[in-house]
Each structure stands twice: as structure tokens, then as C-alpha cells.
């Protein structure tokens, strides 16, 4: 019987380096002999990638917060069913650039929908699946904003384009989520050289 794999999510606001670190952490785990699947949200499966375009394109007010929450939950349901669960069941490590905590922080927290509603949607769509460990990349807000601006020179997506007050609420919501679930969440300093951040992420996987 194949041993169950591990599911790891990387979380944080705009500009903290999640996408870069998913690739680097995956490479480090492969070097240790693990079979790793890299994925992202919204996206990670054919159906979820189709929804991704709806969520990220257009102006900031294209969807109401409620519509966004439903679209994210639908994308996540397909992602879990088609990509994440099969990989875990096959004994692989799954590294996801964002998962439920992003919906909790953005729609649940910054948009004011509330944590309970987001968790209920997740229970219906994805059977309540949670990562084995969530790595929350943390940067001072000014530094994260500068990195995001440099990354998005050709134009930010609908979320990156929102104002500083919105991103402050997102950061506060992420911090509260980490405090509320210390068994799953690890806050990782995302400042400094990328290799140093990767080493901190590996250390935060201690025990898995």
C-alpha cells in the first residue's frame, strides 16, 4: 500500500515571493528524493484554470465579494478533485501556491464575508480538505508592495491593483489565521536572499 503523501500550501499577500519559493522548495524536496507536484490557485486543473481567467482579468470591481468567493470555491473543488487528492493518494508531495487561507484572508477577511461562510463553501466543494502544513511568507507591507510593483510593471491583476488599505486588511487576516492554527501554520520570514528563504521554508517542514 502506498503511503499517503503530504500537502503543503504557501500563503501570503502580494509580492512576498510565493511563486518563486514554490519552485525552489519543490526543487529542494526533489533533491531529497521526493516526488513533488507544483500547483497554484486559482488554477491547478483544467476547470480551475478556466475559472482563473474569470477571477484575475478585468477591473477590480468586476465581481462582488460573494461572487468571487463562489468562483474560488468552485475552482478549488475541481483542483482538489482532479489534482491534489490524486497526488496525495499516490504518495506525492503537493506544493500549492495559495489554498483556502487566501480565500479566508481576501474574501473572508478583507472583503468582510466572514470566515464561517468561506469554510462552509470549502466543506461543500472540497470536503474540507486542509494542508498538512501552511507556510505563511511574511514581509513588511512596504517591502511587499515594492516587490509587487516591480513584478507587475506590465499591469497587476484584479487583486494586486487594489489599494494599500485592502492589502493591509489581507495581511492582518493572514496573521490572525496563523495565530489561530499554530499546529498547521508556520510564519516564515520572506526577507533577504531567495536561497535563505528557501532554507527557512525547509526548516518549517520539520516533522513531516
Domain ranges of the chain: 6-204
How confident is the model at residue 195, as a pLDDT? 96
Return mean pLDDT, the chain: 92
**Cβ atoms within 10 Å of 38's Cβ, excluding its own:** 16
pLDDT at 15 over 90: no
Average pLDDT over residues 100-107: 96
**Lookup: cell for 193:** 536572499
The predicted-structure confidence for 136-180, as pLDDT tens digits, reads as follows: 999 887 777 677 667 666 666 667 667 789 889 999 999 999 999
Coil, helix or strand for 2?
A: coil
pLDDT tens digits along 24-48: 999 999 999 999 999 999 999 999 9
Q: What percent of the chain has pLDDT over 90?
A: 77
Average pLDDT over residues 189-199: 95
Cβ 52 vs Cβ 109: under 8 Å? no
Q: Is the pLDDT of residue 2 over 90?
A: no
Quote the CA–CA distance of 59 and 153 in Å, as a whole number.
16
- Residue 60 has a pLDDT of 77
- Alpha carbons 203 and 83: distance in angstroms, whole number: 26
CATH architecture for the domain at 6-204? 3-Layer(aba) Sandwich (3.40)
pTM recorded for the entire structure = 0.91
- Poorest-pLDDT segment among 20-29, 111-120, 125-134, 152-161: 152-161
User: What is the C-alpha separation between 68 and 66, in angstroms, rounded?
Assistant: 5
Amino acid at each position: 500500500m502506498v503511503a499517503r503523501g503530504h500537502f503543503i500550501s504557501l500563503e501570503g499577500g502580494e509580492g512576498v515571493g510565493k511563486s518563486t519559493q514554490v519552485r525552489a522548495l519543490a526543487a529542494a524536496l526533489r533533491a531529497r528524493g521526493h516526488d513533488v507536484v507544483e500547483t497554484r490557485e486559482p488554477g491547478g486543473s483544467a476547470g480551475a484554470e478556466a475559472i482563473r481567467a474569470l477571477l484575475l482579468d478585468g477591473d477590480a470591481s468586476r465581481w462582488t465579494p460573494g461572487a468571487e468567493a463562489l468562483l474560488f470555491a468552485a475552482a478549488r473543488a475541481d483542483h482538489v478533485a482532479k489534482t491534489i487528492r490524486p497526488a496525495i493518494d499516490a504518495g506525492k508531495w503537493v506544493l500549492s501556491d495559495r489554498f483556502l487561507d487566501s480565500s479566508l484572508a481576501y474574501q473572508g477577511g478583507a472583503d468582510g464575508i466572514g470566515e464561517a461562510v468561506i469554510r462552509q463553501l470549502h466543506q461543500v466543494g472540497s470536503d474540507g480538505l486542509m494542508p498538512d502544513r501552511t507556510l505563511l511568507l511574511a514581509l513588511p507591507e512596504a517591502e511587499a508592495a515594492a516587490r509587487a510593483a516591480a513584478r507587475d510593471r506590465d499591469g497587476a491583476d484584479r487583486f494586486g491593483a487594489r489599494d494599500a488599505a485592502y492589502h493591509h486588511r489581507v495581511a492582518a487576516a493572514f496573521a490572525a489565521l496563523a495565530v489561530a492554527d499554530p499546529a498547521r501554520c508556520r510564519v516564515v520570514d520572506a526577507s533577504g536572499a531567495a536561497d535563505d528563504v528557501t532554507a527557512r521554508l525547509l526548516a518549517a517542514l520539520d516533522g513531516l
